[in-house]
Structure 1
Amino acid sequence: MEALGGYPTKSSNQKAKKLTVLLSMTVGVGCLFLLQTQLVRQRKHNDFYSFEVQDAKGRTVSLEKYRGKASLVVNVASHSEQTEANYMFLQELHRELGPSLFNVLAFPCGQYGDTEQGTSRDIEAFARSTYGVTFPFFSRIKILGSQSDPAFKFLTDSVQKIPKWNFWKFLVSPEGKVLRFWRTDEPMESVRQEATALVRELILKKRVEL
């Protein structure tokens, strides 16, 4: 209600001040919450093992279970010209070095031509029945574009390279840091040497701790 002459009353001024203070406090609290959420998110995802992903059956899996081990993370495909050679090599490496200190972690991706189709369960079942692989499989992901999987994006951001085809390989340390990556056409023997050397370091470290 206004006084004669159009001037606001003292009561109106007090209400306006209270409303302004309330709005300012609300905005301030909101900003602090967003800032805190961002900081927590940054702390939470400072290494590969801090992420959660979906397995081939659609269940949420924490990569934390692989912390303390070396990992070779690979974007796999079922119908690529490199599929057979890579699956045979990856399974051999997984059998030789893992799984107590080393794991191959397979992430199917269908963004490279028609090399990966079907559901995540179908992809996993095909690899296991056709090539006898035993290493962990996860849900099919996207690597290219704005919908790229956060865990895999951590790998590509770490090396500042995005896979141009299937079967790029990322060697991840026991602490979750990316040590090296290999393109599809690079020698697999180099992958074996680097992964083996990292596992040997882990073995020596554990012996010293004992």
Structure 2
Amino acid sequence: MTSPQTIADFTVKLPGGKDLSLADKTGKVLLVVNTASKCGFTPQYDGLEALWKKYGDRGFEVLAFPCNQFGGQEPGTADEIESFCKVNFGVSFPLMAKIEVNGDGADPLYQWLKAQAPGVLGTKAVKWNFTKFLIGRDGKVVRRYAPTDKPEKLAADIEALL
């Protein structure tokens, strides 16, 4: 098997267990984020939703991947997570199935993302919830953002890709 070249080479799971081929997202600008409902950064859902609403009709999507690897801050089921996000933050962008982003059980997509855009000092591990990866229309990683980078700070980079 050849090494993945773009995000289109991956299939991820939706909360109900169905597969979603990311080849279906070809030609879109994507922001891939590992999320958690009980984190100090959880209010970033508001900013992510604002980006989704502002740029969604121009070919931009947010793909949120709930993850419980950081302080057990995403303990809920898929239904609980989705309900929390909708009720508390009005989230309407796609939430994927819960995954792991680090370690032996890391989802293949995240293994690839981390290799394509290492963190500070070349570290590959995702440091915490709400690490963000911006993907261009060509399916390649453009940039990695730290959990402390608020979604609204990404607007200029997103606009440049649209």
TM over 0.5: yes
Aligned to 1:58: 17
Q: Is 1:175–2:134 an aligned residue pair?
A: no
Aligned to 1:82: 41
SS in 1 for 2:110: helix
* Alignment TM-score, normalising by the size of structure 1: 0.71
Aligned to 1:3: none
Alignment of 1:102-117 (within 5 A): 102-117=60-75
Aligned to 1:195: 158
SS in 1 for 2:76: coil
Distance 1:48 1:173, change over 3 A: same
Aligned mate of 1:70, from 29, 43, 67: 29
**1:191 and 1:65 mapped to 2: Cα distance?**
23
Aligned to 1:142: 100
Q: How far off its partner does 1:125 sit?
A: 2.0
Q: How far off its partner does 1:133 sit?
A: 0.7
Aligned to 2:86: 128
Q: How far off its partner does 1:190 sit?
A: 2.9
SS in 1 for 2:33: strand
Per residue, is there more strand in 1 or in 2? Answer: 2
Distance 1:188 1:136, change over 3 A: closer
SS in 1 for 2:143: strand
**1:106 and 1:75 mapped to 2: Cα distance?**
6
| Higher RCO (CA 8 Å, separation ≥ 6 residues) | 2
Distance 1:131 1:189, change over 3 A: closer
Aligned mate of 1:184, from 122, 131, 147: 147
SS in 2 for 1:133: coil
Structure (1 or 2) with the larger CA radius of gyration: 1
**1:163 and 1:110 mapped to 2: Cα distance?**
13
Unpaired stretches in structure 2, ≥5 consecutive residues = 119-123
Alignment-mate amino acid for residue 126 of structure 1: F
Q: Is 1:46–2:5 an aligned residue pair?
A: yes
Aligned mate of 2:129, from 152, 163, 166: 166
Percent identical pairs in the alignment equals: 36
* Alignment TM-score, normalising by the size of structure 2: 0.91
Aligned to 1:30: none
Q: How far off its partner does 1:187 sit?
A: 4.5
Paired residues, what number?
A: 157
SS in 2 for 1:192: helix
